[in-house]
Amino acid sequence: MGSGLAGAKAGILGGIFFAAAVGLFNIALLEAFSGSVIAAFQQVSACTTPPTTPQDCFSTLITTYIPTFVLFPIAVLGILFGSLYGIYFEFLPGQGYRIKALAIGMGLLIFLLLFGAAGIAADQTQKTILYAFDVMGALGYVAIVARYYRTYTREVQFQSPDLKRLKITVDGKNFTGKTRTLSVHSSHTIKAPSESGTFHEWLVSGGVSVLDSKSFETTMRVDGDGLLKIT
């Protein structure tokens, strides 16, 4: 498991970018095709019943519906999917931060398209243009989330000469023989088997340190990429 908090922080930045980019582009697109959009509103009884006019409905679409049904959902879902990226980082397909983020970014895009939160369009031409931009916005989201998740985390390797007898438990989870991303400048409770003669000491390198290398249960601090080894 990676760091959900770091993923959420990266997701905030990515989500704000994605929401702002799509929202502003959606507004610009509707303004560019305002004639056809207003013509579509002329077929809606609520927009032709005095004192409401199709122009009023168009203004409401720009000032209310875009922020409520496009900007807000994308920003919130961007944070949520960023958290999922952090939590399930080690289980996502591919190698590297950007490749793994691509899976989350495309998942977010598909979710937005399925639930109609990827933007508002009046006809198929506008929808095609808008969805093409959504793909580019999602790729920007991917790049931002990957970059800042790396900024907010560090990779730690957990090594053991005997994966069955000498297990490393970090905050209650078995990290033996694995590499995990943990929040930078974070502290974690690590535990080794307490049976007599099994555990000797903790060995560390890089940006990893432990409070008491001779204690089978102690605190590990992560300030950079590094290694924790049990002997």
Domain boundaries, the chain: 4-152, 160-230
The CA–CA distances, whole Å, from 195 to 65, 166, 215, 226 equal: 63, 10, 12, 27
| pLDDT tens digits along 69-94 | 999 999 999 999 999 999 999 999 99
Question: What is the SS3 assignment for 198?
Answer: coil
Average per-residue pLDDT for the chain: 94
| pLDDT tens digits along 27-61 | 999 999 999 999 999 999 999 999 999 999 999 99
Question: What is the SS3 assignment for 90?
Answer: helix
| pLDDT range class, residue 3, cuts 50, 70, 90 | confident
pTM of the model: 0.91
If you write DSSP's letter for every residue of 200-219 in order, what string do you get? --EEEEEEEEES-TT-SEEE
As a residue count, the chain comes to 231
Is residue 198 within 8 Å of 192, Cβ to Cβ? yes
| pLDDT range class, residue 164, cuts 50, 70, 90 | confident
